[in-house]
Amino acid sequence: MDIIRRVAASAAPKATILIRILVGAVFLSEGIQRFLFPESLGVGRFIKIGIPAPAISASFVGVVEIVFGVCIIAGFLIRLTAIPLLIDICVAIATTKIPMLMDKGFWAAAHDARTDVSMLLALVFLIIAGAGPWSMDAVFSRARRPRRHDGIHT
């Protein structure tokens, strides 16, 4: 249980909740849209960019974005839940923004990649800083503190 307390510990400011809401809402929204608009954002998109097993991959990524997006908003084991989303955004950059950079140049890619890069940096921030005091992590951290002994043994 000490490992959970260490992972959940954070000295991040209260304002960290704003970063969590931003990052979590973007991933939650994107995950839902993968199912609402499968041709443009789900299976069809995965086919277009050459992702293997697009039907399975698109559904898997959609579920990951929904579940971990909610976890980010709640501040639930933030350092661990940010990792799958960090992998997700790195794959997105590698499969869509890097090819665009090679094909259309820096400025077109920079324009199109602004959200992806923002999400990447915000996730790195959350991994480093933690979830902050208004989070499930803060609840876990407080609940799992070892009890102090006053030296009296019974």
pLDDT of residue 120: 98
- The answer to whether residue 148 scores a pLDDT higher than 80 is no
Mean pLDDT of 88-92: 97
- Residue partners of 4: CB distance under 8 A and separation at least 6: 77, 140, 144
pLDDT of residue 4: 79
Mean pLDDT of 20-49: 97
DSSP string, 59-90: HHHHHHHHHHHHHHHHTSSHHHHHHHHHHHHH
pLDDT of residue 142: 79
Q: 32 pLDDT band (50/70/90 cuts)?
A: very high
Q: What is the Cα 59 distance to its own chain's centre?
A: 17
Q: pLDDT digit string (tens) for 38-83?
A: 999 999 999 999 999 999 999 999 999 999 999 999 999 999 999 9
| Helix ranges restricted to H, 13-134 | 16-36, 38-41, 43-49, 54-74, 78-92, 98-104, 106-129
CB 97 within 8 A of CB 113: yes
Q: At what angle are helices 106-129 and 16-36 packed, to 10 degrees?
A: 120
pLDDT of residue 153: 54
Percentage of residues in the chain having pLDDT higher than 90: 83
Instruction: Output the six-digit token pair for 86.
Output: 């960090």
Q: Which residue has the tokens 């839940």?
A: 81
pTM over 0.85: yes
